[in-house]
Copies of this chain bind each other. A is one copy, B any other.
Amino acid sequence: MAAKQTFNVERFFQALGDNTRLRILNLIGDQEICVCYFVQILGGPQPKISRHLAYLRSAGIVAVRREGKWMHYRIVMPPHIGAAQILRQTLGWLKEEKTMQADRARLTKACCSPAKYALLEGAPLPTTIQETTCEAC
Binding site for B on A (CB under 8 A): 9-14, 16-19, 22, 80, 82-83, 85-86, 89-90, 92-94, 96
Q: Give, as a whole number of angstroms, the nearest-CB distance from A99 to chain B.
A: 10
List 16 interface pairs A-B (beta carbons < 8 Å), by A numbering: A9-B19, A9-B22, A10-B17, A10-B19, A11-B17, A12-B17, A13-B17, A14-B17, A16-B17, A82-B89, A82-B93, A82-B94, A83-B93, A85-B93, A86-B86, A89-B89
Interface of A is mostly: helix
This chain's copy number in the assembly: 2
In the complex, what distance in Å separates the CA atom of A8 from the CA atom of B9?
21
A13 to B16, CA, bound (A): 6
